[in-house]
């Protein structure tokens, strides 16, 4: 790989004797890894655990594997896994992932939250927000709303709202050079300064949304000090109530440049790609009376309510907690305690339960991914061969003694949507956009 000349010179100045090892690391392959998903009921053991990590493993998982398609694993390189590990939300928190697509940090945050509290997972790009929705649905969490807003748009609604904000900022991407050599093409000597301006703009909005006493995690996948330590210094000067918390240096992380509390990850020291990470605690006193925001409301017609209840009674063994809302003919379950989101562009309004069709209700693929096998009355387990037939969009023939109706599809114990059985033929409801041949 040919690195930009200015990038090499900058890092020789910054790293001195270490620069040779750092620059040599670009001739080695990028490190692959994944996390397992604790929200899935059927777990499996995997080799090569990442040290000091709850769910991380080195290695590659195919996008066509059962583990990936059922959401049991999420591919994410090891350095990127340290961001949500430091953020480590407690159960019940209100959390914002401000720049979230494709969803690495979001799904990791959801692993800690264990379907409690609220995660707003935001992505400004519409195209990327669709990928984020797919990844969130596959992960199977029920406490997340995916928004497609600018940070400014979100800040109008969520003033002083979040206990924890993660900003994995758009950056010059130097840490991705090995994984994605195209990132090298976008890079120029001025790029870090341009990115730093944008990062400060986004952080200003983040600070409007942080509740007094909350925490902020700021990360980039670049090494330029302009986007890292300089942004942290600016933040501390602009918001004197923020305090920098020390990040524990695990697995070869090092302190920042003249800033020991933050963490830098370099491929010649840490087995992974490039990452920078800073952790802040807000020291403003918590107000005695929480601010009142107009709450989100349910908007189902009595007929829709009845259709959903009939479906739930016939098929589910759990009562879903949350607020039911319809958008057009689509039914969603929002996490409890959200404000009214009418002014926000939504990509996924909580857990997608299904679609109202004239006089009936059809369950969503997302619902069948989120429910555990013991939360559903009727299920059908697919063999590996059946799985391949199903994901390619074909129907399956099953035991004709089974009653007609909806069945959760199970593969290796985890849900893969619902399918309708009609006289021994299992109709295919695997979403068209996700189908593949293996
Ligand atoms: N956190 C993600 C993950 O772990 O999968 C990766 C996020 S990526 C480093 C940064 C994201 O910031 C991109 O998805 C990009 O579309 C988004 N972005 C770009 N400009 C932005 C802006 N002005 N405000 C907020 N987000 C922006």
> Which residue, by CA, sits nearest to atom 8 of ligand 1?
170
Does the structure show a pLDDT above 80 at 180?
yes
For residue 123, report the distance from its CA to the centre of ligand 1, in Å.
Answer: 6
pLDDT tens for each residue of 138-173: 999 999 999 999 999 999 999 999 999 999 999 999
Does the structure show a pLDDT above 90 at 60?
yes
For residue 392, report the distance from its CA to the centre of ligand 1, in Å.
Answer: 32
Spatial distance between the Cα atoms of 373 and 43, rounded to a whole number of angstroms: 13
Give the pLDDT band (50/70/90) at residue 128.
Answer: very high
For residue 167, report the distance from its CA to the centre of ligand 1, in Å.
Answer: 8
Instruction: Give the 3-state secondary structure of residue 159.
Output: coil
Does the structure show a pLDDT above 80 at 290?
no
Q: Relative to the CA of 220, which ligand 1 atom is closest?
A: 9
- Of 186 and 250, the structure prediction assigns the larger pLDDT to 250
Pocket test for ligand 1, best of 76, 121, 124 (most atoms within 8 A of CB): 124
Strands 346-348 and 330-334: unpaired
Annotated active-site positions, please? 221
Average pLDDT rounded to a whole number, residues 204-221: 98
Q: Are 103 and 127 in contact (CB under 8 A)?
A: no
Average pLDDT rounded to a whole number, residues 20-48: 98
Q: What φ, ψ does residue 277 adopt, rounded to 5°? A: -150, 130
Q: What is the pLDDT of residue 353?
A: 98
Instruction: Give the 3-state secondary structure of residue 391.
Output: helix
Identify the weakest region by mean pLDDT among 38-47, 141-150, 395-404: 395-404
Q: Relative to the CA of 171, which ligand 1 atom is closest?
A: 9
Tell me whether residue 168 is annotated as binding: yes
Domains of the chain, each with CATH number or no CATH: 5-282 (3.40.50.150)
pLDDT tens for each residue of 333-385: 999 999 999 999 999 999 999 999 989 999 999 999 999 999 999 999 999 99
Give the pLDDT band (50/70/90) at residue 292.
Answer: confident
What residues does ligand 1 touch, defined as CB less than 6 Å away?
Answer: 99-105, 123-125, 128, 151, 168, 170, 198, 202, 221
pLDDT > 90 fraction of the chain, expressed in percent and rounded: 95
Q: What is the pLDDT of residue 395?
A: 95
The 3-class SS string of 343-380 reads CCCEEECCEEEEEEECCEEEECHHHHHHCCHHHECCEE
Tell me whether residue 99 is annotated as binding: yes
The contacts found for 419-423 with CB under 8 angstroms, 24 or more apart, are 419/380, 419/390, 421/380
Q: What is the pLDDT of residue 293?
A: 87
Tell me whether residue 230 is annotated as binding: no
Query: DSSP readout, 226-295?
Result: GGTHHHHHHHHHH-TTEEEEPPP--TT-EEETTEEEEEEE-TTTSSS--EEEEEEEE-SPPPSSPPP-PB
Give the pLDDT band (50/70/90) at residue 199.
Answer: very high
Average pLDDT rounded to a whole number, residues 20-41: 98
* Verdict on whether the full-model pTM lies above 0.95: yes
Give the pLDDT band (50/70/90) at residue 186.
Answer: confident
Give the pLDDT band (50/70/90) at residue 308.
Answer: very high
Mean pLDDT of the chain: 97
Pocket test for ligand 1, best of 134, 170, 228 (most atoms within 8 A of CB): 170
Q: What is the pLDDT of residue 67?
A: 98
Does the structure show a pLDDT above 80 at 291?
no
């Amino acid at each position: 790989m040919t690195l930009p000349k200015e990038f090499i010179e900058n890092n020789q100045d910054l790293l001195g004797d270490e620069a040779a090892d750092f620059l040599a690391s670009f001739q080695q392959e990028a490190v692959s890894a994944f996390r397992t998903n604790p929200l899935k009921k059927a777990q499996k053991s995997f080799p090569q655990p990442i040290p000091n990590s709850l769910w991380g493993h080195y290695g590659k998982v195919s996008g066509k594997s059962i583990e990936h398609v059922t959401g049991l694993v999420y591919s994410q390189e090891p350095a990127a896994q340290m961001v949500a590990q430091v953020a480590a939300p407690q159960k019940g928190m209100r959390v914002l992932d401000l720049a979230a697509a494709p969803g690495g940090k979001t799904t990791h945050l959801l692993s800690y939250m264990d379907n409690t509290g609220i995660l707003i997972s935001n992505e400004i790009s519409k195209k990327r927000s669709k990928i984020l929705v797919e990844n969130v649905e596959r992960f199977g969490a029920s406490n997340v709303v995916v928004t497609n807003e600018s940070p400014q748009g979100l800040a109008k609604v969520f003033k002083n709202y979040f206990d924890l904000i993660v900003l994995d900022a758009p950056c010059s991407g130097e840490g991705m050079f090995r994984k994605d050599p195209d990132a090298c093409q976008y890079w120029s000597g001025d790029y870090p300064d341009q990115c730093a301006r944008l990062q400060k703009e986004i952080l200003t909005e983040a600070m409007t949304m942080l509740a007094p006493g909350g925490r902020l995690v700021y990360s980039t996948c670049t090494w330029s000090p302009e986007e890292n330590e300089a942004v942290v210094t600016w933040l501390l000067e602009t918001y004197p109530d923020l305090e920098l918390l020390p990040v524990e240096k695990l697995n070869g992380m090092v302190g920042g440049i003249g800033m020991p509390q933050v963490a830098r990850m370099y491929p010649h020291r840490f087995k992974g790609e490039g990452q920078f990470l800073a952790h802040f605690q807000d020291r403003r006193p918590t107000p005695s009376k929480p601010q009142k925001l107009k709450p989100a409301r349910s908007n189902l017609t009595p007929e829709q309510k009845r259709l959903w209840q009939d479906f739930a009674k016939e098929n589910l063994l759990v009562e879903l907690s949350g607020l039911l809302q319809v958008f057009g003919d689509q039914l969603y379950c929002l996490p409890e305690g959200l404000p009214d989101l009418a002014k926000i562009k939504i990509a996924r309004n909580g857990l997608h339960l299904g679609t109202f069709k004239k006089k009936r209700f059809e369950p969503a693929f997302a619902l069948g991914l989120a429910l555990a096998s013991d939360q559903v009355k009727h299920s059908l387990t697919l063999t590996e061969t059946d799985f391949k037939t199903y994901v390619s969009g074909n129907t399956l023939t099953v035991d004709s003694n089974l009653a007609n109706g909806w069945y959760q599809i199970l593969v290796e114990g985890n849900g893969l949507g619902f399918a309708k059985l009609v006289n021994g033929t299992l109709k295919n409801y695997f979403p068209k956009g996700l189908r593949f041949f293996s």
